[in-house]
Amino acid sequence: MSVVERMRSLALFNNMDMERLSRLLAQINEQQLAAGEVLFAQGDTAHTCYIVLTGELEAVARQGDFEMQLEICHPGQIIGEMALIDASPRSATVRARVDSCVAVLDERGFIELLHSNPALTLELLRGNTTRLRRTSQQMIDDIAAKHAELARAYDELQAAQAERIRLSRIEEELAVARRIQRLFLPTQLPQPTGWQLAAYNRGAHEVGGDFFDCIPLPGGQLGLVVADACGKGVPAALFVALTRSLVRAMALTPAAFQQGGATLSSSPAETLRVTNDYIATEHGASHMFITLFYGQLHPSTGQIVYVNAGHNAPMLFNAAGTLRAELESASLPLGIIAGQSFTPVTATIAPGELLVCFSDGITEAMDTQGTLFDEQRLLDAVRDYAALPATELVERLVATVEAFVGDAPQSDDMTLLVLKRDA
């Protein structure tokens, strides 16, 4: 189809006589546009306007990172004329949506077109008015949408701030709980004549489920406790607080009999029996339990009378660091069943020997490959450092575990208690 035929097919030129149309065509050039190609850009200086002959173009305006579609232009529409009318830069970018063709009119040709077709002026005015109204309404709609988006963002921000404040309060409360829980642990360990005592405790979380205790008892005896509650975090910490208080209270409660005129403390078996019954009866609904080793040491004789309620068996080593015995017991953990009886066992720690009590956070510490530290590595480490004083021995054992773990996150609480008899 020739340019004349294409122009004649447009409503814009239906009523224009051939002489005027021919004169106009002499000032018109055709421009082909590929899909996506920009005809002119927002802010460009305007010297021409365009008549869409074929295809489809879109006008878009950009404000910052936001782009708004203003209009879809079809064959017969004039685009870019407003910049010629008011001598302003282009107010929008126009690009082809599909392969298109436009007729290019310079300012002189545009004026000739208006003079030759007075009705066109009114049509352009109507079109621009419609366009402005549509653009205004679109801007109003966009502003309303942005307002709603901002309102949602504000609500989300408020919720996030409230959550941050809540989490901050929880963190503060956990920090306080952690400090309180640390107060449960002895700040200074008793050191009976001829004995060395050292311990270590580190929680995997803000608060932990492990604890140790050293309880001075009547007659110069010493109560030793290492325990590990099921679970992690706050529930375990609360259970630990309950258990520690019960064990301490019962251990320091005089027994119902006297021997040699001296009031004795409750035996390990009686202490754990009462503690277990209370937990199982009063708190059985929590389904919590705790493994616990409790031994009463007679420093003068080296005898230790103990009950092991499902806890990792403490290891008794000779002076050379060789494992001599494990302080095991067939008792269940505390809190599982009421009415459980506990049978005390007696062992003797000879001069130069040492007792290592620990929680499973030590032997089950994992490296980055998921390999357990295990009891054998603990045995090897004790053998290597058995000659050291108790405090240094604990430090070396902890350092050995930490070197093995490396950068792997700690998944369980760690507790160590070492009792060493001087040679």
> How would DSSP label each residue in 358-379?
E-HHHHT-B-TT--B-HHHHHH
> pLDDT grade, residue 262 (50/70/90)?
very low
* 207 and 103 share one domain: no
Mean pLDDT of 248-262: 62
Q: Which of 80, 99, 116 is the last residue of a domain?
A: 116
Provide the domain count of the chain: 2
Residue 365 lies in a domain: yes
Residue 135 lies in a domain: no
Rg (CA), the chain: 44
pLDDT tens readout for residues 354-366: 999 999 999 999 9
Write out the two tokens for 421: 């008899």
Residue 414 lies in a domain: yes
pLDDT score for 14: 63
| % of the chain residues with pLDDT over 90 | 46
pLDDT tens readout for residues 164-210: 877 777 676 656 656 665 666 788 899 999 999 999 988 776 667 78
pLDDT score for 32: 94
Q: Which of 69, 101, 116 is the last residue of a domain?
A: 116
* 195 and 89 share one domain: no
| Range of lowest pLDDT (224-228, 252-256, 261-265, 345-349) | 261-265
pLDDT tens readout for residues 4-60: 666 666 666 666 667 777 777 777 788 999 999 999 999 998 888 898 989 999 999
Residue 352 lies in a domain: yes
| % of the chain residues with pLDDT over 70 | 83
* 105 and 235 share one domain: no
Q: What's the number of CA atoms in the CB half-sphere (13 Å) around residue 151?
A: 6
Of the candidates 243, 239, 206, 238, the residue with the CA atom closest to the CA atom of residue 225 = 243
* 212 and 332 share one domain: yes
- Close Cβ partners of 319 (under 8 Å, ≥ 6 residues apart): 351, 352, 353, 386, 423
d(CA 307, CA 334): 11
Residue 137 lies in a domain: no
pLDDT score for 116: 67
Q: Which of 95, 116, 137 is the last residue of a domain?
A: 116
* 258 and 380 share one domain: yes
- pLDDT of 256 > 50? The answer is no
* 237 and 91 share one domain: no
Residue 177 lies in a domain: no
Mean pLDDT of 110-118: 71
H-state helical runs in 297-389: 360-363, 374-385
d(CA 204, CA 227): 15
Helix (H) or strand (E) holding 351: none
pLDDT score for 346: 95
CA 170 to chain centroid: 15
Question: In this structure, what CATH number is given to the domain that contains residue 232?
Answer: 3.60.40.10
Q: Which segment, 79-83, 279-283, 301-305, is predicted with the most confidence on average?
A: 301-305
Question: In this structure, what CATH number is given to the domain that contains residue 54?
Answer: 2.60.120.10
Structural domain including 332 reads: 186-421
> pLDDT grade, residue 263 (50/70/90)?
very low
pLDDT tens readout for residues 67-97: 888 889 998 888 888 877 777 888 899 999 9
- pLDDT of 261 > 60? The answer is no
- pLDDT of 139 > 80? The answer is no
- Close Cβ partners of 91 (under 8 Å, ≥ 6 residues apart): 42, 61, 82, 83
